[in-house]
Structure 1
C-alpha cells in the first residue's frame, strides 16, 4: 500500500501543501469505539470527514471533533454513536454540511447545544438530524438559523407540541414577526420535519401582509414575492397537523416534492398554479371533495398518492392524458370516489412509465383501458371493486414481464384463465366468484390466495412445480380428493398453508422434512382421517395448527409440546381419545395461547402438569403496549372459537387472546388448582364432562377471565345462586379486530355453572368492569355462603 497516505483509498491531500484535507471511510465496516488519542484527530488541516455507515458503538461523539478548525463537511450518519451531542462541534465555524442522522435515537441534543449550533454555524447550508433524540427541545429553539441554510431534515426526532408559527425567524426578518419566516427566505430549498409529533395548523403566508410593520413589505401586493419561491422539497408527513392545506402551498413555482401524508388535514385539495410538482403525497388524511382538475396539468408528476381520504365524485381516466412521466398512482380507499374507465383513443393517454397502480376501493366496474400501454407495470391493485366476468383478452395480451404483484381480491370475477405474466410473485384472487378447477399461478409465485371462491375438483399436481411458493391459501372452496403429498415437501420454504373448509379427504401428508419452515397450517373443516403425522415435529417454527372438524383419530399428540413457538392448537370435533397424560418435556407448550380439544373422546383426569407450564397464559401484563396480531405483512391468521356457547370467527388473532376449551369430552375428577395460575386467561370451558368436587379457590386469581362455562358436570359449589336465566348470548358473528379491548377493562362476563347432569343456568353480568383486581362474582361462588351440593 505504501507509506504515503495521500495514495490511500479515501484520503485526499492538498496538491500544493501535501496536507490531508479529506478522509472518506464510509461503509468500511469499522467497529468499536473511537479513542481520543487516535491519529485521526491530529489531521488539523482536515476539511471533509465522512465516517458514515460504520459501527462505533458504544463510543460517544468525541469532543475532539470540534478541533478541526477548517472543517466544512462532517458526515456521521448511521455510525451507532451514543450519548450527548458535544457542544464543541459548534466551534466548527466554517461548517457547511452536518449530518448526524440515523443513529437511532442514541444521540441526544439538548437545548443549550442546539442554541450554540444556531448562533455559531453561520455558514451552514445543510443540516440533517434525522432520528436524533430531541424530545426535550422546544420547537422555538430552531429560530434564528442563518439565512444560508438551504436544507433541513428533522425526521423522527421526537419533536412535539404546537407547530411553531415563528420557526426559523431570520435575523433580517425579525421585525416581521410572521409565521414560517425561513420559508419566505429565497435560500431555503429543502425542509423535512416528518415523523414528529407536531400539532396545529399549517400557517398561511399570503394573507395579512398589510398589517406587517416593515417598510419592505408594506403593501399587500408583495405577499406573492414572500412565498418561498425556491423551495424544492417540503415534507411534514407523519405528524398530527390539522386544518386545511394553506393556499400558498399551491403557488410555489419551484416546488417538486410535497409530502403531507399521515396527518389530520381536512378540507378540499386546491388547484395547483404551477406544473413543477414531481411527487404529491397526501395520503392518510381527512381530505374531501373532488380530485383537483389541475392534476391533469402536472406534466412532470411521477408519484401521485392520495389514498385513505374521503375524496368523492368521478375521476375520468383521461385525466392522465398528458402525464407521460407518471410512475406511481395510488388513489385507493376513497370510499366515495368513482373511477370511470370509459374507452378513449388509446393513443391519447398512454402511460409508458407507469410502474405502480393502486385503485383499490374506487368503485371500478372494469379494467382501466390505459393498462393497454403499461408494459413497465410491476404492481397492480384493483381489489375491493365491482369488476365482474373475466380478465379481458386485451389485458392478457399486454406484455408485462415486469409485473410481480397483482391483487384482484374482493371483486366478482367468475373466470381467471391462464395468466401469461411469468414473473408474477404475488397473486391475490380471494373473495371472488371463481368457478371451475383451481387455476395454477405462474412458476415463480410466492404468494397465492384463492380463498372464498367456488372452485371445485382436486388440487392439481402442477401446484408441485411452484418451487418458490411461501404462502398458499385455498380455503373456503369446494376442492375435493386428497392433499397432494408434495405440499409436505414444500415445507422447507412454505410458510403458511391454509386448506380449511373444503371437501378434502384421505390422510394428512407425512412428508414434513427437517428444516420445515411452516408457521401456520390450517386444515379445519374437511374429511381428513388417520392420525397426525409425527413428522410435524420438524416444523420448529409452527405457531398455528388447526385440524378441527375432521375425522382424525389417535391419542393426544404429546410430541407437539416440543414445538416451542406453537401458540394455537385446535383439535376440536375429531376422534381423538384416551388420557392426555403427563408432559414428556420439562417446559411444554411455553407459548400456547389458544387450545381447543372439545368434542372428542378424551377421558381421565384433567392434565394438571399440562396446565402448570402454560407460560404464555400466566403473564397477565403481556402485550399491554398495544394491539398485536398473529401473522406477518402477507398473511394474518384467523381462527374460529366458541364464546358463550356460540362459534365466532376471529378474522385477526390478538396475541393477548387466550382461551382453553376442553368441553364435550369425558374428563373426570376435580378442576386442577393450577388453572388459577393462568392469570391472562380470557375464556375457560370445561362444560359437558364428568368433573366433580369443589371449584378451587385459586380461580379467584383469574382477574382477566371473561367467560367461564362449567355446565353439565357434577360440581359442588359453595353458594346457591338461584335459578336466574341470565342474559342470552348474541347470535354467532364475525368479530373484527377491535371487538375485544382487554387493556383497560372487561366488556362482558358470562358464567355457566353445572346444576346436575343436563341442567344449567347462566349468570349474565353484561358489560361489567372490575374496579378491583378480583372478580367478586367468582369470589362469592368460591367462598361465600353455605355449602350446597348440586
Structure 2
C-alpha cells in the first residue's frame, strides 16, 4: 500500500501491488458501482477467469488487467472505452461486437497466443485510438472499411495471422503515428497506403505514404522493395525510427533520427549530407556494397551514438576532425579495407565502449599506457595483422567481449593478460594465431564469468588448460596439446560444447564426460591418441546432440548407456579399434542423423529378426571397412524416411548442422566420388550410405530405390550378386554411385540414364554384360568406370559388340560341355 498516497491517482493504487489469489465473482470490488477506471495490472490472480461481474460496473470505462495471470474467455458484455488485457493466458474467441462499441478508444490484447478473433466485415466510424493485437491468433482479411477508423493512432498487428491484400483505405488514417504489420501473410502489390516488414509485397514504396504525416515509426524490412529510398520520407516530419533493411534500394538517404538500412545491396558512397542531421542517434548501413571514404563529418554529429558501417567495401583511410567531441559509444567498421590506421586515433573518442575493427589494417604504436584510453566493453580486432598482444589491453579491466582471432600473434600468452577483463570477461577468442603456450600456467584460467573461450588453431604445446568453471563453450582444437585430460575438467559442469579435437592427447577418456552430459551438448575428441574404452556413464535426460571420438585408438564395445542420450544427432566412432556386433539398439534414438562406425573391428549382420527398423532421421550411414556380413532384406530401408524425402536444389540459403551452436559445425570424413573427402560443414540435405569393404552378399534390395534424397551410395568391395536394381534410376539426387568389386550380373539398367546429377560412377570388376547405356551422364565417364566386366561393350570401351557376343557364346558352350548337356559336336 506504499503507493496509496493523497497526491497519486487512486485508480492506480491496485496496479503492481503484489496481490495474489483468485478474483472471485462475489468480490466486494464489484459493489463499487460508480467506479470509472480500474487498474489491476502486474498482480498475480493465479490464472483465474475474468469474472462476468465486471458488467455490474456500469460506469466503468477503463479496465487494465495486463500482466496479471488471468486466463479463460473474455466476457461478451463489455461497454468500456479502454480495455488492456496484454500478457495474460486468455483463450477462446474475442467478442466481435466489442469493435463496434462507439465509445471504445483502446483495445490492447497483445501476447495472448491462444486468443482468436476476427474483425467485423463493416467497421463504422468510432473513437478507437489504439488497436494492439500483437502476437495473438486473430486472423482473416482486413476489411475495406478499415479506413473508417479515422481516429486511430496506433495499430499493431505484428505476429497475428492476417492475410490477403491490404485495403487502400489505410492511407486515409492520417492520425496514425505507429503502424506495425510485421510477420503476417499479406501479399500482392503495395497499396497506396503503407506496408510493413516480413510480408510478400514487391515494387516501389508509393509516394502516398507521405500523407501519413504523424508517423514516428515505420518499418519496411524484407518486403522486396527496390529503387531509390523514397524521397516522400522527407514529408514525415515526426518520423524518428526507420527500418529499411533487407531490400534492394539505391543510395539516397533522408533526414531521420534513426536509420537502419543494413543488407539492402546499397552501392556508391556515403553522402556527406548525413552530417546535416543534428538529431541522428543511430546510423546503420552494415552489410551493403558501399565504397569510397567514410565522411569525416559523420563524427561531428553531436547526437550520434551508434555508427555501424561494417561489411562494406569502404577503402579510404579514416580522417578525423574534432573527434574528441564525438559522443559515439558504438563504432563498427569491421570487414572494410580502410588502409593503414593507427589504433590510437580511436582512443580520442572518450565515450567509446564498443569498437569493431575486424579485417582492417591496423598499426599499433608503442605508447605509454594511461587512464585516458576508453574503458571498452566489447573490442573486436580480428584479422588486423597483429603480431603481439596490444599493450593498451593492460588497462582494459571492464571488457565483456574480446576478439583477437585470425592474427599473427606468436609466442606465449603474457602473464599480465590474466587481468584483462578478469571480473567481467564473458567472450574471449584467440583462435587462428601462433600462440605456443602460457607464460604463467594456471591450474584453472582466471576469468570468473567467462562463457566462451576459443584457443583453437594455434600451436599450444602444453597440457590441456582448464577453462573457468563458468565456461559454456570451450574450443582448443588444432593445437599440439599433450598429456592426459586433467580430471579437473569434470568440475566445469556448465560446459555445453567441448571441442579438443586434433591434438596429441593420450590416455583414457574420463568417465565424468558421460556423467555431466546432462549439460553437455557437443563433445568432440577426434584425432587424438586416446585408448581404452568409452565412458559407460551416460545419463538419462542427457542433452548430448553430437559425439565424435573418431580417429583415435579406442577399444572395446559401444556402451549401451548411449541409448539414454535421446537427443543424440551425431555419433562418429570411425577409425578406431572397437569390436562387437552391430548396435541394433541405436535405432531407438529418435533424433539420430549421422552414424559412422567406419574402419573398426565390428562384425556380424546389421539386420536381425528383432530389428525395430528405426533410423527415421538418418542421413549419413557409414559402416565401411569392417567385417559385417549377411544379406540386406527388402524391408531394411523402408523406415529411413529422411532419405526418402526429396529436398530439391533450390536457391535458398544453405543450412548446416549445428547452425544454432555458436562457433561450431559438425565435420565428417566420407568417401565421395572415389575420394576421401572432409566435409568441414555438413549440409542438412547431404545424405550418404557407405557399406563398402565388408562381406555382404545376396541381391541389392529394390527398396534402395525409395531413398530418393540419396547423394552418395557406395556398396563396393562386397559380394553382392544378381542384377543392378533398375529402381536405382529413381535416385534423382545421386551424385556418386560405386558398385565396384562385387559379383553383379546382367546388363546395366538404362534407367540409370535419368541420374542427371551423377558425377562419379564405378561399376568395375563385376560380371556385367551387354551394351553400356548411351547418353546423359554416361557420356562423361571413361573406361575405368566399366573395366573388369568382360561382357560389356560400347563406348567408352573399345570392344566390338560382335566380338563380345562370340566371347559370351564360347563361355556358354564351354559351360554346357563341362556339364555334359551337349556332345563334342
Indicate the TM-score class for this superposition, using the shorter chain for normalisation: 0.7 to 0.9
Out of 603, 625, 642, the residue aligned to residue 629 of structure 2 is: 603
Instruction: Tell whether the 8 Å contact from 1:330 to 1:359 is kept in structure 2 after alignment.
Output: no
Tell me which moved more, 285-294 or 487-496.
285-294
* 1:499-530 CA distance string (max 9 Å, x none): 11112222212221222321110011111112
* Mapping 1:485-634, distance limit 5 Å: 485-582=511-608, 584-606=610-632, 608-621=634-647, 627-634=654-661
Give the alignment's Cα RMSD to 1 decimal: 4.2
Correspondence 1:637 to 2:671: no
Is 1:232 aligned to 2:240, yes or no?
Answer: yes
- Partner SS, residue 66 of structure 1: helix
CA deviation digits over 1:36-75, x for unaligned, max 9? xx23x1x3xx23211222344552x533122332333222
2:61 to 21, 46, 50: 21
* Deviations 1:139-174 (CA, angstroms, capped at 9, x unpaired): 96543431x433333433456677789869xxxxxx
In structure 2, distance between residues paired with 1:550 and 1:651: 20
**1:732 equivalent in structure 2:** none
- 1:57–1:621 distance in 2 versus 1, CA, 3 Å: farther
Runs of 5+ consecutive residues of structure 2 not aligned to the other structure: 1-26, 43-56, 196-204, 339-358, 781-791, 793-800, 813-825
Is 1:749 aligned to 2:759, yes or no?
A: yes
Tell me the equivalent position of 2:797: none
Does residue 242 of structure 1 match 2:276? Answer: no
Among 113, 125, 145, which residue is 1:91 paired with? 125
SS of aligned partner of 1:636: coil
Contact kept, 8 Å, 2:383 with 2:406, in 1: the verdict is: yes
Larger relative contact order (C-alpha < 8 A, sep ≥ 6)? Answer: 1
Residue number in structure 2 paired with 1:264: 265
Structure 2 match to 1:194: 221
The 1:203–1:552 alpha-carbon spacing in structure 2 relative to 1, beyond 3 Å, is same
Q: C-alpha displacement at 1:566, in angstroms?
A: 1.2
Are residue 204 (structure 1) and residue 231 (structure 2) matched?
yes
Q: How far 1:275 moved relative to its partner?
A: 4.8
Any conservation in 2 of the 1:76–1:100 contact (CA below 8 Å)? yes
Q: Secondary structure at the match of 2:136?
A: coil
Contact 1:594 1:660 in 2 (8 A): yes
- Structure 1 alignment gaps of length 5 or more: 169-177, 207-225, 722-743, 771-780
- The match for 2:690 is 661
Mapped to 2, the partners of 1:510 and 1:404 lie a distance apart of 33
Aligned to 2:342: none
Residue 573 of structure 1: how far off its partner (Å): 0.9
- Alpha-carbon distance change, 474 to 197 in structure 1, aligned in 2, over 3 angstroms: same
- Bigger mean CA deviation after superposition, 266-275 or 744-753: 744-753
1:53 aligns with 2:63: no
Greater Cα offset, 500-509 or 565-574: 500-509
Question: 1:273 maps to which residue?
Answer: 276
1:589 counterpart SS class: coil
Distance 1:572 1:474 in 2: 21
SS at 1:501 equivalent: coil
User: Aligned partners of 1:229, 1:745: CA distance in 2, in Å?
Assistant: 61
The separation in 1 between residues aligned to 2:267 and 2:231, in whole angstroms, is 15
- Measure the CA separation in 1 of the matches of 2:467 and 2:772: 51
- Tell me the SS of whatever aligns to 1:200: strand
Could you say if the C-alpha distance between residues 384 and 529 of structure 1 is closer, same or farther in structure 2, counting changes exceeding 3 Å?
same
Q: Which residue of 2 aligns with 1:378?
A: 400
Kindly indicate whether the alpha-carbon contact (under 8 Å) linking 1:156 and 1:195 is maintained by their aligned counterparts in 2.
no
Residue aligning to 1:305: 308
Partner-residue secondary structure (3-state), 1:463: helix
Q: Would the alpha carbon gap of residues 231 and 646 (structure 1) be closer, same or farther in structure 2, given more than 3 Å must change?
A: same
Q: Partners in 2 of 1:466 and 1:157 — Cα distance?
A: 44
**Structure 2 Cα separation of the partners of residues 498 and 422 of structure 1:** 25
Alignment size in residue pairs:
704
Aligned residues of 2:311 and 2:334 also touching (Cα < 8 A): yes
Distance verdict in 2 for CA 1:720–1:78, change over 3 Å: closer
SS at match of 2:696: strand
Write out per-residue CA displacement over residues 635-664 of structure 1, whole angstroms, 9 at most, x where no aligned residue: 332211101221111122222222111111
Q: Per-residue deviation at 1:184?
A: 8.6
Asked if 1 retains the 8 angstrom alpha-carbon contact of 2:288 and 2:311, the reply is yes
TM-score of the aligned structures, taking structure 1 as reference length: 0.78
2:732 to 692, 695, 703: 703
- Residue 151 of structure 1 pairs with residue 186 of structure 2: no
Instruction: Compare CA radii of gyration and give the structure with the larger one.
Output: 2
